[in-house]
Structure 1
Amino acid sequence: MNSRLTAQVSFKAHSAVPALPAGGVIGLIAPAGPAQLDLDSATQWMHARGYQLRVFPGVWEKNGYLAGSDAARAGDLHAAFADDSIDAIFCLRGGYGSPRLLDSIDFELIRRHPKPFVGYSDITALHLAITRYAGFVTFHGPMLNADLLGNKQSPTESSLLRMLSGQQPRLLSHPDEYPLSTVAPGCASGRLLGGNLSLICATIGSPFELDDQDAILFIEDVNEPLYRVDRLLTHLRLAGKLNRLRGVLVGDFAGIDLSALLQLLRQELGPLGIPVLAGWRSGHCDPNLTLPLGAHVRLDADRQQLTLEQDVVTL
């Protein structure tokens, strides 16, 4: 195991991170796949919202399906956290590549420089690792290219910026605007952890796997047919990753018929005897609402509500 991987601390409540201040500097990194960045558009987007943009070198690199070499991408991740002039870190896109970095990350460095870290999809691997070994809240939220510059509905942007600035109300859910489905009734509190289902499963058996003790598990995915979602959920069950959960929040599963997905969820998750709420608008969807991973939350599947039980940023 990488010598930089210090022993896990049992973080029952993950620490809040400093809020993104007005006029703050947002660092852009590409820890997974490559994408062409329109620098003028990105800079204008940031300036229009009162922020400054710092683009790290790996954003401009391309190595096949990766945004540069593993060393370059890990170097940008470390540099963005270590630089105290950077107030938050956004990811350019997902794709593939984040898991390749996990055993080279200096978690002690990251722990010493907490700040908002935002991304989803393949970035799930980094969320799992940072929340586990650095012990602070990270944000499952929109990425620059596909979401913030991609004309997604306004709640995508406002949800993110409210969360990072400390303006987000404790009640996160709005079922009147975005209908939810109660798969299994009940109410429970726990740490919100998870992200992309495929990435969660891919880390099982490694030092970076989901710490499921007393967790509210969040899952989402894209381009996975129903039978493969079945296989992934079965993988979680056989690996014992469902046994200690407090509840499950199901995000978007793009491309799958909702009624068929709900039937599968009832079969696989219903017997757990914990609350399960589906239809949350986070993931590869429009809007893509921000969730604070590692934060203590209350999931009420009966009232179809998700509520923060701690501050996720400090002002």
Structure 2
Amino acid sequence: MSAQSMRFVHPAPVHPGDRVAILSPASGLPEIYPVVYELGLRRLREEFQLEPIEYPTTRKMNSPLVERARDVHAAFADPEIKAIICSIGGDDQIKLLKYLDAELIRANPKPFFGYSDNTNLHIFLWNLGITSYYGGSIMVHWGRAGAMHPYTRTYLKRALFERGLYEIEPAPNYTDELIDWGSDDLLSKQPKMYPNTGWRWLNGEKIVEGVTWGGCLEILDYNLRASRYIQANENYEGKILLLETSEEMPPATYVYRVLMGMGERGLLQQFSALLVGHPPAWSFECRRSPEEKEQYINEQEEAIRQALREYHPDLLTVFNLDFGHTDPQLIIPHGGYVKIDALQKRIFVEY
């Protein structure tokens, strides 16, 4: 079935007291950082009233792909499991997809939460016509140092428990300077937050509505290179592209080249709008000053603008959304409806 004729299934919301699967279909970091992971589980129970159910590979690093796939199948097939939440991202999940039973998953749709390397599973679900939710990680968001950020908590609760059209707003503050998971005072530390500069608009004066597709740029690049899970160009016509970069902080030249490849492929031209996540510009290995961070962010934005000038000069684009690797995090539907009103500078998403 082509995406043009596809109707996306919105899995039912969860309710307090429901059982939810906690999976590690990418990296098994809960084994290495159990304190962070268990903090996230505790908040899921206490602040969301949900019962986390773990699987054999959830706390296991370097699990064989077939074992990870077995856990994914078990979570989707179990009628007592009402949603699936990833523990963390990783870097090899594309290799998992060939082991997945598409018909089993199609027959048992349920809300799926994850980001970063979990872009692979979002693409897999999109191809099955199942709406998923880009964002949310037990270790990063529920297990956040100090306390969950109220902005993240708000959008997680909407995506989990509610259904309907909601207006989203920029986060009041943000950070990319996360707390070291190995620090002794992890539970009491608060991340250093910075004022958020808000959204930046390109090619406004229009209203665009459509279904979203995309995710982490580096993982989209995996899929574009493999060309196994990317559909024909025309199946993305009118869709809204989501892009964000990871904590690996790819250089602007790489970002441009990925979009150049999409343009040469004829794919970039299919989209009716582009939403870009706020890029992280700091890591423990690369501790940039505020001025250096601003330069990195501006260079990435210019790389995207350059690609658009060449391949899709009239594409409505909004920069600096909060759905990526910075904190706090907006949860955005993947394969879900979004309305972008550039006239009033407002965005609405359907959970």
1:277 is matched with 318
Q: Distance in 2 between matches of 1:230 and 1:285?
A: 21
Residue 259 of structure 1, aligned match among 298, 305, 310: 298
In structure 1, how many angstroms separate the alpha carbons of the residues matched to 2:166 and 2:79? 28
1:3 maps to which residue? Answer: none
Determine whether 1:208 maps to 2:249. Answer: no
Q: Give 1:134-149 correspondences, 5 Å limit.
A: 135-149=129-143
Q: Pick from 239, 245, 254: which aligns with 1:221?
A: 245
TM-score by length of 2: 0.79
Note the C-alpha offset of 1:9: 6.0
Within the alignment, does 1:188 sit opposite 2:208 as a pair? yes
How many angstroms apart in 1 are the aligned matches of 2:253 and 2:243?
A: 16
CA distance in 2, matches of 1:201, 1:44: 35
1:262 deviates by: 2.8
Query: One-letter code of the match for 1:170?
Result: Y
Do the aligned partners of residues 236 and 172 (structure 1) sit closer, same or farther apart at CA in structure 2, a change above 3 Å counting?
Answer: same
Q: Distance in 1 between matches of 2:3 and 2:268?
A: 21
Q: Determine the structure 2 residue equivalent to 1:288.
A: 329
Q: 2:218 aligns with which of 198, 206, 219?
A: 198
Once the two structures are superposed, the pairs formed by residues 1-315 of structure 1 within 5 Å of their partners are: 10-36=4-30, 37-38=34-35, 40-48=38-46, 49-63=48-62, 68-133=63-128, 135-151=129-145, 153-166=149-162, 169-174=165-170, 179-185=198-204, 186-204=206-224, 206-209=227-230, 211-222=235-246, 223-255=249-281, 257-270=296-309, 271-308=312-349, 310=350, 312=351
CA contact (8 A) 1:243 1:272 kept: no
Asked if 2 retains the 8 angstrom alpha-carbon contact of 1:192 and 1:292, the reply is yes
Paired residues of 1:246 and 1:274 also in contact (CA < 8 A): yes
Task: Describe the superposition over 1:87-125 as per-residue Cα deviations: whole angstroms up to 9, x where unpaired.
Answer: 110001111121011112111111111111000000001
Q: What runs of 5+ residues in structure 2 fail to find an aligned partner?
A: 174-195, 282-292
Q: Return the letter of the residue paired with 2:328.
A: P
Say if 1:142 and 1:160, in contact at 8 Å, map to a contact too: yes
Conserved 8 A contact 2:87-2:137: yes
* SS across alignment from 1:235: helix
Distance 1:11 1:137 in 2: 15
Percent same amino acid at aligned positions?
25
Please list the CA deviations of residues 10-38 of structure 1 after superposition, one character each: whole Å capped at 9, or x if unmatched: 45441211101111111100001121334
2: distance between equivalents of 1:23 and 1:161?
Answer: 14
Which piece of structure 1 moves more, 202-211 or 229-238? 202-211
CA distance in 1, matches of 2:172, 2:28: 37
Q: Can you give the 5+ residue segments of structure 1 that lack an aligned partner in the other structure?
A: 1-6
The whole-number CA distance in structure 1 between the counterparts of 2:9 and 2:2 is 15
When structure 1 is superposed on structure 2, of 212-221 and 36-45 the one drifting more is 36-45
The answer to whether the Cα contact below 8 Å between 2:151 and 2:171 also exists between their aligned partners in 1 is: no
Name the structure 1 match of 2:179.
none
**Aligned AA for 1:213?**
E
Query: In the TM superposition, what whole-angstrom CA distance separates every residue of 1:279-302 from its partner, at most 9, and x where no partner exists?
Result: 101111011110000012112334
Summarize the Cα distance change of 1:276–1:194 in structure 2 as closer, same or farther, 3 Å threshold.
same
Amino acid of the structure 2 residue aligned with 1:54: I
Large movers: runs of 4+ above 6 Å: none
Conserved 8 A contact 2:89-2:116: yes
Distance in 1 (CA, whole Å) between partners of 2:276 and 2:23 is 28
Q: Distance in 2 between matches of 1:167 and 1:16?
A: 9
Number of residue-to-residue matches in the alignment: 299
Q: If the length of structure 1 is used for normalisation, what is the TM-score?
A: 0.88
Structure 2 CA distance for partners of 1:11 and 1:307, relative to 1, 3 Å: farther
SS state of the match for residue 14, structure 1? coil
Aligned-residue RMSD, C-alpha: 2.1
Tell me, in whole angstroms, the C-alpha distance in 2 between the residues paired with 1:176 and 1:53: 30
CA pair 251-40 structure 1, distance change in 2 beyond 3 A:
closer
Q: Which amino acid is 1:283 matched to?
A: G
Separation (CA, whole Å) in 2 of partners of 1:166 and 1:278 = 27
CA contact (8 A) 1:182 1:302 kept: no
10-19 vs 169-178, which deviates more?
169-178
- The code of the aligned residue for 2:348 comes to T
